[in-house]
Structure 1
Amino acid sequence: MIELPESMVVSKQIRQCLVGKKIEKVILNASPHKFAFFSMDADRYPMLLEGKTVRNSGSFGGQIEVEIDDMQLYFSDGASPRYFAPKETLPLKHQMMIRFDDQSAITVTIAMYGMMYLYPKGENKNPYTIIAKEKPSPLNDAFTFDYFNELIASCPPTMSIKGMLATEQRIPGLGNGCLQDILFHAKLHPKRKHETLNETHFRQLYDAIKETLQNMVDRGGRATEKDLFGKEGGYVPTLYAKTVGTSCPACSATILKEPYLGGSITFCPRCQK
């Protein structure tokens, strides 16, 4: 799933690789997927994109925005674009294919579920995008400790840390995947309640959010995800599916996984309190 590190990495790669290329052909639903979501009838995408040129790319939270002349194309959740150089063989199954005039291409193959939304420039009224653009990124200077304290102060006293950080788009782009290592570095349990935290804990959380996410971006994203060129990121998470049942690198306790808040949590029962 695309979270903040991957959106930043892939949007930068799109700027470096695709800007200036003209779209020659667009194909959608070559392999239909029940959970591939579009913002309009998929048949309209070719008409609105073919013949137009990629101008820029940016990221907002966990969303990738691609400017294509007078249109804006968005990728989010499990909709990760993959680049293919001219003459490279394209996958037979995909939910979107965009071929450029130099015969390079990108494809999108949905993992679980994903959004491939298209809007005329400036007309995206999707509330998730609006919130992601309005709120400061954790990696921007505007995401100060005072801002973070105000954000957390608005949460109910009995809400857990996972609920505070990874729900209701309080921090757009910070999802369950990134959260596990953030809480590990902060030495806080994902189920711990807001009312039990003091300013020292808030500082630990704030520092862990900024440092962990920056480390993920600097290493090209998480090793559990792939970039525009199909390469796994260089950041290997401490806590994820493959480390469940192994020894914690800090204390040697067994790393555990439990269902929680409609998903799961992975944690060290000794380090995280």
Structure 2
Amino acid sequence: MIEIPESITIAKQLNETVFGKKICKVIANASPHKFAFYHGDPVDYSALLAGQVIGDSIGIGAMIEIAAGDRRIVLGDGANLRYYDDSSKTPSKHQLLLEFDDGSALVCTVQMYGAVLAFIEGAYNNKYHLVAKEKPLPLADAFDRVYFDSLRTEGSDKLSAKAFLATEQRIPGLGNGVLQDILFHTGIHPKRKMGTISEIEFGRLFDSVKDTLTEMTRLGGRDTEKDLFGSVGGYRKLLSKNTVGKPCSVCGTNIKKAAYLGGAVYWCPACQPLDE
């Protein structure tokens, strides 16, 4: 799934690869997918996008927004975007294909679920998209300790650490994937209640959010995700499906996994104890 490190990495790669190219062919919904979500009728995507020139691409939380004239293409969640320098090499099954005037192409596919949106700028009023554009990313200077403190509101002390960081769009693009290592670096269990976290620990949590996401982004995303060219990211996750049952990199205790709040959580029982 796209999260902050991947959206920023892929947006940067798009700016280096397709900026200034003219869209000459558009195919949307060639392979119908029950959980591929479009804006309006995908049949209209060709008329909407063909002839437009690709502008700036930006990472917005868990979304990638591509400018094409006064049009916008937004990809999110489980939408996988790949670049092909030869459009004849693109896969036959896809949810969106854009061919350019130089013979290259972008292909978007969806596995579990994903957003594949195209619209005229200002015509998409989805609250998740708007909130993600309004709030500062953790990599930005505006995301400082004062701002992080402001995320603690009435009732948040009853939330678990996972719920506080990765739900209600408190920090758009910080999802269950990047959450695991952020908490590991602070020694906080994903199920631990925020009300039990001291001010010193909260400060460490702020530092970990900033530092961990910065490092993930610097290395081109996580090793559990792929970039625009199909290569896995350079950040090696400490806690993931790939490390369950293996020794903790700090203490050697085996990493554990459990289902929690609609996804899996991973932790080291020794480094991230939980008093229940």
- TM-score, normalization by structure 1: 0.98
Q: Which letter maps to 2:61? A: G
* SS of 2:156 mapped into structure 1: coil
* Aligned 8 A contact 1:3 1:173 in 2: yes
Cα distance in 2 for partners of 1:111, 1:205 equals: 33
Matched residue, 1:194 = 194
* SS of 2:109 mapped into structure 1: strand
Matched residue, 2:138 = 138
* SS of 1:157 mapped into structure 2: helix
Which sections of structure 2, spanning at least 5 residues, go unmatched?
none
Identity between Structure 1 and Structure 2 (%): 49
Q: Which letter maps to 2:194? A: H
Cα distance in 1 for partners of 2:261, 2:180 equals: 14
Q: Which letter maps to 1:128? A: Y
Residues 89 and 256 of structure 1, relative CA distance in 2, 3 Å threshold = same
Is residue 2:37 matched to residue 1:15?
Answer: no
* Aligned 8 A contact 1:62 1:76 in 2: yes
Q: Which letter maps to 2:80? A: S
Post-superposition offset of 1:182:
0.4
Residues 153 and 18 of structure 1, relative CA distance in 2, 3 Å threshold = same
Higher mean displacement: 86-95 or 51-60: 86-95
Cα distance in 2 for partners of 1:82, 1:194 equals: 39
Matched residue, 1:82 = 82
Matched residue, 1:266 = 266
Cα-to-partner distance string for 1:146-179 (whole Å, 9 max, x where unaligned): 1111102444322100000000100000000000
* SS of 2:117 mapped into structure 1: strand
Cα-to-partner distance string for 1:32-91 (whole Å, 9 max, x where unaligned): 111100011010000000111101111111110000001011000011210000266111
* SS of 2:152 mapped into structure 1: helix
* Aligned 8 A contact 2:84 2:104 in 1: yes
Cα-to-partner distance string for 1:97-152 (whole Å, 9 max, x where unaligned): 11001110010111210001112112221100111111111010011111111102
Higher mean displacement: 79-88 or 97-106: 79-88
Cα distance in 2 for partners of 1:116, 1:87 equals: 20
Cα distance in 1 for partners of 2:155, 2:186 equals: 19
| Paired residues for 1:144-163 under 5 Å | 144-163=144-163
* SS of 1:179 mapped into structure 2: helix
Cα distance in 2 for partners of 1:7, 1:86 equals: 24
Cα distance in 2 for partners of 1:65, 1:130 equals: 12
RMSD between superposed Cα atoms in Å: 1.1
Cα distance in 2 for partners of 1:107, 1:70 equals: 21
- TM-score, normalization by structure 2: 0.96
| Paired residues for 1:38-187 under 5 Å | 38-86=38-86, 89-187=89-187
* Aligned 8 A contact 2:52 2:69 in 1: yes
Cα distance in 2 for partners of 1:141, 1:101 equals: 38
* Aligned 8 A contact 1:155 1:164 in 2: no
Aligned residues: 273
Runs of 4+ that moved beyond 2 A: 152-157
